[in-house]
Amino acid sequence: MQEIKEAIKHVKGTGMVIRGNDIDTDQIIPARFMKVVTFDGLGEYAFYDLRFDPQGGLKPHPFNDEKYAGASVMFVNRNFGCGSSREHAPQALMRAGIKAVVGESFAEIFAGNCTAMGVPTLTLPGDVLNAIMDQVEADPSIPVSVDLPSSTLTVNGTEHSFDMAPSYRSALIAGNWDSTSVLLSNIDDIQNLAGRLPYLRDYTPVTA
């Protein structure tokens, strides 16, 4: 039987700042890197066109900045993850080591895709968020922690209350954020129900 994913109540680490409003999913992961069977290795392509020039040389970008090495909480601005609904975008961020994203606002589908991968998306007022971004940019080593049960974000010892869609927050805390795992964990009930439904029980595949 498939195990339900673990509950996600806390995220701890250091922060990274990605400034700019309306950063869309094509910037997060260009479409040409989506031709894959699995999501393995997508992390190296996060923000690729913003990080590398056509010759493969490095461009100034937080993901190329050694001071953010190992960061697990990403701070962004308004309407982050807009554009296409590709789940490759949060997959790329997660596989690059991002475990939570804090912003002023998120595209709804992007936030939902993040939740389905166990990555919380938290929102803060713009003025509070910008002050935190300044802090993290000045000293990326300061500790950052997310506490979902209390809806608090702590940055360098200072607590901030954040907003999050109640359904996303409760799913992460309960450990049922991965709908596929929840479905497979109930496979016996599904098979029993299928056996009682005539249109499934008596189904015969049509062969050529």
CA distances from 201 to 97, 175, 188 (A): 45, 32, 15
Instruction: Look at residue 1 in the predicted model and tell me its pLDDT.
Output: 39
Pairwise CA distance, residues 61 & 17, whole Å: 10
Q: Reduced to 3 states, what is the DSSP secondary structure of residue 120?
A: coil
Instruction: Look at residue 40 in the predicted model and tell me its pLDDT.
Output: 77
What does the block give as tokens for 43? Answer: 């992390």
Instruction: Look at residue 183 in the predicted model and tell me its pLDDT.
Output: 44
Domains of the chain in start order, with CATH, are 10-176 (3.20.19.10)
pTM value? 0.82
Pairwise CA distance, residues 123 & 175, whole Å: 21
Q: Reduced to 3 states, what is the DSSP secondary structure of residue 152?
A: strand
Mean pLDDT over the full length of the chain: 88
pLDDT digits over 8-50, tens only?
A: 999 999 999 999 999 999 999 988 887 766 677 888 999 999 9
Instruction: Look at residue 178 in the predicted model and tell me its pLDDT.
Output: 59
Reply yes or no on whether the pLDDT at 2 is more than 50. no
Residues in Cβ contact with 103 at an 8 Å cutoff, skipping those fewer than 6 apart:
75, 76, 77, 78, 80, 121, 122, 123, 124, 129
Pairwise CA distance, residues 15 & 146, whole Å: 11
